[in-house]
């Protein structure tokens, strides 16, 4: 599978600006790209008390509809972050959009301190199939908690995608975390971060990365906007799991209600 990592700057609270650059990036994706991955809350930027209610959109809102049209035109899947409005509340959500619609969405379960009170944490982990690969999603701070990726592994994830909004001075923390999450779950893990300045004097750390099931870096970005195509050879999954499998060898299983859906999605509800 060829996956394109799009590391770019954004504007908090400026959906029109962010959406335009998202659509431009999808239109410019490389030939044979099958999946394009963007940073956390790519479409709206990060919320503030003054903007969160105004900029949040439902999953069937105009921004994701525009992304779906672009995905259909290029025949790719797109993972993009947004502020989702649903059931009278707002979530920090990332959606896997295919030419046929939203195949999977994940609401961030572990909120960074500045988000608390602005958005609501999610209550489940989920995976879906795309091109025969079982994909799970995490968002930024989630990856600092090993249980999050392990929950996806319990659902059979082969590829863990992370939309990221990690800022200075925490870049090294996520570099270590993404490698560990891949190695300890024997899965591919891809992380796409934001760069440049944000509100409240934040400076985003970049460092987008792709890691193989042995925990080895395939690609690592710097601090400037960039886009990189990585090709994932899923035969490495079997190689990594040939002599031992951490999931089979563990003696503690994370609790939760597992749900199998007819369309191939799997969910683990947080107890």
Measured distance CA(203)–CA(10) in Å, rounded: 11
C-alpha span between 233 and 178 (Å, rounded): 18
List the catalytic residue out of 115, 140, 158, 267.
140
Torsion sign (Cα): 113, 119, 124, 129: negative
CB-CB neighbours of 246 under 10 Å: 14
74 assigned to active site: no
Q: How far apart are CA 105 and CA 191, in angstroms?
A: 16
144 in catalytic set:
no
DSSP string, 29-50: PPTT--EEE--TTTTT-S--TT
Q: Which of the following is catalytic: 4, 108, 115, 158?
A: 108
The residues annotated as belonging to the active site are: 40, 108, 140
């Amino acid at each position: 599978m060829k996956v394109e990592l799009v590391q770019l700057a954004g504007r908090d609270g400026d959906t029109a600006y962010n959406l335009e650059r998202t659509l431009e990036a999808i239109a410019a994706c490389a030939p044979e790209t099958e999946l394009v991955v963007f940073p956390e809350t790519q479409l709206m930027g990060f919320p503030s008390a003054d903007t969160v209610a105004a900029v949040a959109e439902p999953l069937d809102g105009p921004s994701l509809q525009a992304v779906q049209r672009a995905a259909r035109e290029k025949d790719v899947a797109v993972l993009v972050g947004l502020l989702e409005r649903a059931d009278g509340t707002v979530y920090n959500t990332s959606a896997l959009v295919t030419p046929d619609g939203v195949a999977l969405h994940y609401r961030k379960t572990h909120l960074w301190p500045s988000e608390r009170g602005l958005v609501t944490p999610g209550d489940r982990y989920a995976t879906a199939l795309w091109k025969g690969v079982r994909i799970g999603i995490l968002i930024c701070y989630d990856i600092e908690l090993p249980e999050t990726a392990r929950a996806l592994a319990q659902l059979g994830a082969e590829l863990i995608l992370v939309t990221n909004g990690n800022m200075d001075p925490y870049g090294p923390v996520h570099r270590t975390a993404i490698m560990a999450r891949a190695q300890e779950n024997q899965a591919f893990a891809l992380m796409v971060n934001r760069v440049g300045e944000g509100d409240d004097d934040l400076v985003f750390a970049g460092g987008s990365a792709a890691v193989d099931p042995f925990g080895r870096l395939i690609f690592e970005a710097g601090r400037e906007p960039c886009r990189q195509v990585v090709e994932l050879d899923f035969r490495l999954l079997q190689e990594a799991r040939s002599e031992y499998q951490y999931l089979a060898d563990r003696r503690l299983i994370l609790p939760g209600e597992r749900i199998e859906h007819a369309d191939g999605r799997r969910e683990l509800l947080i107890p």
